[in-house]
Amino acid sequence: MHDAALPALPAPQVCEHARLSRDARFDGLFYTAVKTTGIYCRPVCPAPAPKASNVVYYPHPAAAEAAGFRPCLRCRPELSPSEGAWRRGDATVARALKLIDDGALADAPLAKLARRVDTGERHLRRLFVEHLGAPPSGVHGTRRLLFAKQLLTETRLPITEIALASGFGSLRRFNAAFRDAYGLAPRDLRRSPQAHADDALTLRLAYRPPYDLPGMLAFLRDRSLPGVEVVGDASYQRVIAPLDGASAPGWLRVSAWPGGEPALKLELHNAPPSRLLEIVNRLRRMFDLDADPIAIASALSTSERMRPLLEANPGVRLPSGWDGFEIAVRAILGQQISVAAARTLAARIGARFGQAVPADFGAPGLSHLFPTPDALAEADLGEIGLPRARAEAVRTVARALLDGRVDFRPERTLDDFAARWVALPGIGPWTAQYIAMRALGHPDAFPAEDLALQRVASVDGAVLTAKQLRTVADAWRPWRAYTVIHLWRDAAARNAAARAAARTSATP
């Protein structure tokens, strides 16, 4: 995706219709600022709609705040999904936003961020202002303050810890920035706290509907790592490694937010404040919460093959993973074997080489952390039944991550990422693209060598070669990874139907 292809602010008539109808599909795609009140809102704000003559639309909260507007305390813009396609793909703005999410501007100048995305500082600032209405520093600052606002409203964390969690080096700086931006002290949001009273820290993670949570959980459940993850019909749980390797690990649960609100419920146990923003960002990527289903469906619905799949499953998202190394190991194990067989091998690796959690951990089914690259770099994987070539590929990847030959850095383009990975012995194009899809959440990753895709991708039922499949998939750019999920799901449904038919025909 090139910078010129990035979406602009929706047309004024679209924004007007969306805010008047409170259309949640546009949540986070624009913000409504009201000139008479000095407040900016989400399209879904339940407050009475202001007159059109008093409304100004902005593409990003930072743009509204730079113009002097404050966030609405009723609809709470900090809960909006992020900017959809602006955070996906290889465009300069998308890659820079991912780096900002990772804290690239917390302790480094804009010039360094610009170098990491291969552009000049002035050009990067211009791109941000053109597409988001605010410079990178404004986006970074607004992001920190809105996350702090969510923590102040939804948790009982001390304000000092909230300042740390939202990236401020001191309480004094946090108080000053909050007061300058919002005209009130952080403690003023605590007058009527909505925080939950139990031991878990609970946060709301919004998305744009439709969202197929059962389908997402089914995908993750089939590929889950026993002891590291527990995936049920209604929730996802996993253990979280401690930052320092010495303190106790934590754990989390993700489920639907009660009442049908378009959001997921995140419950965190024993997570240090300094990791909260990182954890939220990981989960937003993992569950693809910032996707823009309207844009994706609009692009893919022109395909005769994809149109019926989109209509049958409108809320399909791209399931990513919590940790890149976990996904890479899982991808190597899955080469040319079934999903279930790869899961069995992954379970053995985790149980044998992963660090056990304390006996009083408090999360049934979670027993150990997945092993780190250090733990597997020289591990004897043959003892758990892993074939020699595949065991060496796992060790090679672990060593390559340790010495920097490969990584999961968000500024990598898809081509650069794949080229680095296929240079490793035992890593082919299918594995590299699968890792890009599931570890990075890259929307255009496409494992064309996948046999299931080759069997179901054509309109006429013909089995395609990898080269033919890539040609067909060119029409699905820049959302090819979403077609992979749709097609895998269709292939699984066909296989299930065939098995059912075979059982029926075999019954006397």
The span from the CA of 196 to the CA of 214, in Å, is 26
Decide if pLDDT at 288 tops 70. yes
Q: Is 41 a catalytic residue?
A: yes
List pLDDT tens digits, range 308-317: 999 999 999 9
Average pLDDT, the chain: 92
Q: Which of 438, 421, 415, 429 is nearest to 484 (CA)?
A: 438
The span from the CA of 199 to the CA of 451, in Å, is 47
Decide if pLDDT at 256 tops 60. yes
List pLDDT tens digits, range 180-201: 999 989 998 875 545 454 578 9
When pLDDT is averaged across residues 125-136 and rounded to a whole number, the result is 93
The span from the CA of 161 to the CA of 303, in Å, is 50
When pLDDT is averaged across residues 417-421 and rounded to a whole number, the result is 98
Question: Can you tell me whether residue 209 is helix, strand or coil?
Answer: coil
| Close Cβ partners of 288 (under 8 Å, ≥ 6 residues apart) | 216, 317, 318, 319, 320, 441
List pLDDT tens digits, range 238-249: 999 987 665 789
The answer to whether 473 touches 443, Cβ cutoff 8 Å, is no
The span from the CA of 269 to the CA of 148, in Å, is 19
The active-site residue, picked from 15, 41, 72, 75, is 41
Q: Tell me, what's the pLDDT at 245?
A: 62
For the record, the structure tokens of 213 come out as 């949570």
Tell me what percent of the residues of the chain surpass a pLDDT of 70: 94
When pLDDT is averaged across residues 50-54 and rounded to a whole number, the result is 95
The answer to whether 113 touches 105, Cβ cutoff 8 Å, is yes
Return the half-sphere exposure (C-beta side, CA atoms, 13 A cut-off) of residue 292. Answer: 22
Q: Tell me, what's the pLDDT at 333?
A: 94
Q: Is 450 a catalytic residue?
A: yes
Q: Which of 418, 420, 446 is nearest to 432 (CA)?
A: 418
Least confident of 301-305, 356-360, 407-411: 356-360
Cα 506 to its chain centre, rounded Å, is 45
The span from the CA of 163 to the CA of 167, in Å, is 6
Q: pTM for the whole thing?
A: 0.94
The answer to whether 213 touches 289, Cβ cutoff 8 Å, is no
The active-site residue, picked from 101, 288, 323, 450, is 450
Residue 383, phi then psi, degrees to nearest 5: -70, -15
Q: Tell me, what's the pLDDT at 96?
A: 94
- The DSSP code for 104 is T
